[in-house]
Structure 1
């Protein structure tokens, strides 16, 4: 029997045009595809000969247990099949790839990793900004607000880095994270929320930290979204917003302005 293998494939944030050629080739040769919820469902058309197993994992929703997914990966691969595990964004960023790599290696299964575009990068592209900017910040910090133990990140330490904060899985905790960050950052720190980044349904909200939670609620912004906070976000022009323009609370009649002007 030929040895099987597992490919951890990063499908990007939604638009199939953002898939790499390497990802498309892997899908074309797949025997089994394990598909996450947040992946564009049309991706299965690129794997015409594969059995598709849906193993969705969504915060706050009924999800396929991680241990069960790992057992499926090992079982199919040990049968000699070419298994492609499809994850949204980049598999190596908040995609539980570490847990799956450990399980597969313990089982003696060969693993290939194919990178993709994380939603944080797609969100920045939609806003027309760079996540790093010499005039504003020394780097970017990717952080999840959804911790396994239910605790909160150290927002004070994160604010002290001076980096752009790209917060994943933070919409259910947006009130708390804004309150925590406001204790350490200026109220007029530029902020944004991008929902369904990199997909045809993308929605963008530009605002500032002290208005972030209220504006996001008013605009109906929900998961899956990326929250971006920091000076570099101020380089976005309000014209890129698709919901609630970035007004200052005291000059709402002045009309949309760039966040760099508003700050």
Structure 2
């Protein structure tokens, strides 16, 4: 990282959440900052329509790229400081909310340690947005008075999981797992072993708020097979708890612009009818 130019007034870094993916769900503050920024450092999770709306000469991709390559967090931190010290107005654009499994907290600490001014711009996290547009409330007076947000993709360097699945199973509230499609067999098994009823409803919401959104539903016991049969893939949110069962009563009347493709369970039904 280059030495700071002491003659240049440092710019501000804006840690901006892009929301769940739909450009219309960006906050007004986020839109204004994106329009005014000298440079935008973005991940892959912001919706493609949001990224493509930015001029190519004012955006840098610091997310995961083809071949599994990704920009190390240390390099992102250093780049933010470098640009700010050059007097730039910098937007660090993240999927969802910057402080919900977005590593925004780490970047804020790094910026503060290097005396770089920053602002946090909250956004709608996919943890509540994806279930909502699928007709699933994460809390409900009759079904759940608490909700727990869990990452399904922990730091691989951790010696053991920091998620206490036994405690979560005992709470009786809703569990929302982000980035957990691949590890679905692991944590559903952990919840069953912890005593969660095998008929507990589960929903998978793929590409929530984006074109082609799909929803697949099942139970703790069946959801892995449902995932495989429907070919649900990331990005997807897992909702575990009685609230997931409420979708059935509202799905026929739910209207949004996201389900360009039919729900996964509806597609499966249509395929069966066609085979008969």
Of 137, 140, 156 in structure 1, the residue corresponding to residue 166 of structure 2 is 156
Deviation at 1:46, TM superposition (A): 5.1
* TM-score (norm: length of structure 2): 0.84
Unaligned runs of 5+ in 1: 254-263
CA RMSD of aligned residues (A): 2.3
Deviation at 1:176, TM superposition (A): 1.1
The total of aligned residue pairs comes to 248
Which of the numbers 228, 231, 252 marks the counterpart of 1:217?
Answer: 228
Residue 5 (structure 2) aligns with: none
Please state whether the residue corresponding to 2:198 is helix, strand or coil.
Answer: coil
Q: Does 1:125 align with 2:142?
A: no
Counterpart for residue 177 of structure 1: 187
Residue 265 of structure 2 corresponds to 244
Provide the rounded CA distance (Å) in 2 between the counterparts of 1:4 and 1:215: 49
Where structure 2 has 5 or more consecutive residues not aligned to the other structure, the ranges are 1-7, 255-261
Give the corresponding residue for 1:256: none
Structure 1 residue 217 displacement after superposition = 1.0
Q: 2:175 corresponds to which residue? A: 165
Q: Deviations over 1:145-195 (max 9, x none)?
A: 221116332211111111100001111111111111112211111110011
Describe the superposition over 1:97-155 as per-residue Cα deviations: whole angstroms up to 9, x where unpaired. 11100110011111111111111212222221211012112211000122111633221
Moved over 3 A (4+): 44-50, 238-241
Deviation (angstroms), 1:3: 2.3
**Partner-residue secondary structure (3-state), 2:40:** strand
- Structure 1 residues 195 and 49 mapped into 2: Cα distance closer, same or farther (>3 Å)? closer
- Is the counterpart of residue 30 in structure 1 residue 37 in structure 2? yes
Q: How far apart are 1:36 and its partner, in Å?
A: 0.4
Taking the aligned partners of 1:72 and 1:94, their CA distance within structure 2 comes to 21
Structure 2 counterpart of 1:261: none
2: CA distance between counterparts of 1:115 and 1:133?
Answer: 24
> For residues 63 and 169 of structure 1, do their structure 2 counterparts lie closer, same or farther at Cα, with a shift above 3 Å needed?
same
